[in-house]
Amino acid sequence: MQLRLAHLRHQGIDFVVFDADARSHMRDDRAEILGKLTQEARRAGLRVDKAALAYRKGGRIEFWGTPDLVRFLASAGLPRWTHTITVQ
């Protein structure tokens, strides 16, 4: 399956935002999927200091992941997708 992501660098920090959410929408499942996707991004050669999931809830984009990155994204908005990775 192809998955979109945004890989950006801001103030010397490399971060990734994945176009994904856990099917259950539970915190533990989101943590697991974020960890797996972060590993896949690193395997693809991307440097990742912080990561977050971006998903739709009630017609709005929400973020889940590293707390300070989530706060940044909440104010900055969803970045443009820059890459795709293949995940199993």
Q: Residue 88 pLDDT > 90, yes or no?
A: no
The answer to whether the beta carbons of residues 79 and 6 sit under 8 Å apart is yes
Spatial neighbors of 68 by CB under 8 A, at least 6 apart, are 50
Measured CA to CA in angstroms, residue 57 lies from 20, 44, 71, 88 at distances of: 12, 29, 17, 24
Q: How many residues does the chain have?
A: 88
The answer to whether the beta carbons of residues 8 and 70 sit under 8 Å apart is no
User: Tell me: the pLDDT tens digits for 41-87?
Assistant: 999 999 999 999 999 999 999 999 999 999 999 999 999 999 999 98
Tokens 């929408």 correspond to: 25
User: Tell me: the pLDDT tens digits for 17-50?
Assistant: 999 999 999 999 999 999 999 999 999 999 999 9
